[in-house]
């Protein structure tokens, strides 16, 4: 399943809901992702200035991956122009 994320608040809500469905506490998720509990609290609150590396750790700990869509046409056109 894919979920569209438009901002940090959307991401935080998705992470909170996933954590709750997995019946994990914030400290348990922090331990699994090797980040601090404060980081989890701020991430779930939608803080927009968190480290991407740590966000990726949390996503991985929850079984998720980060995917970007819609940019492929730009990459293909740029590569063709470089030839």
CATH of the domain at 52: 1.10.260.40
The pLDDT assigned to 76 comes to: 65
In a domain, 38, yes or no: yes
Residue 3 lies in a domain: no
Written in H, E and C, the secondary structure of the chain is CCCCCCCHHHHHHHHHHHHHHCCCCHHHHHHHHCCCHHHHHHHHCCCCCCCHHHHHHHHHHCCCCCCCCCCHHHHHHHHHHCC
Tokens 């404060």, residue?
A: 38
pLDDT at 24: 98
Domain region containing 50: 8-81
**Does residue 46 fall inside a structural domain?**
yes
| Residue 2 domain-assigned (yes or no) | no
Higher local confidence (pLDDT), 69 or 21? 21
Q: Give the number of domains in the chain.
A: 1
pLDDT tens sequence across 32-83: 999 999 999 999 999 999 999 999 999 999 999 998 888 777 676 655 555 5
């Amino acid at each position: 399943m894919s979920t569209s994320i438009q901002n940090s608040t959307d991401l935080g809500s998705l992470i909170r809901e996933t954590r709750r469905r997995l019946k994990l506490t914030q400290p348990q998720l922090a331990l699994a992702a090797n980040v601090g509990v404060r980081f989890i609290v701020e991430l779930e609150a939608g803080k927009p200035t968190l480290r991407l590396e740590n966000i990726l750790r949390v996503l991985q700990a929850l079984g998720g991956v980060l995917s970007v869509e819609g940019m492929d046409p730009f990459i293909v056109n740029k590569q063709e122009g470089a030839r």
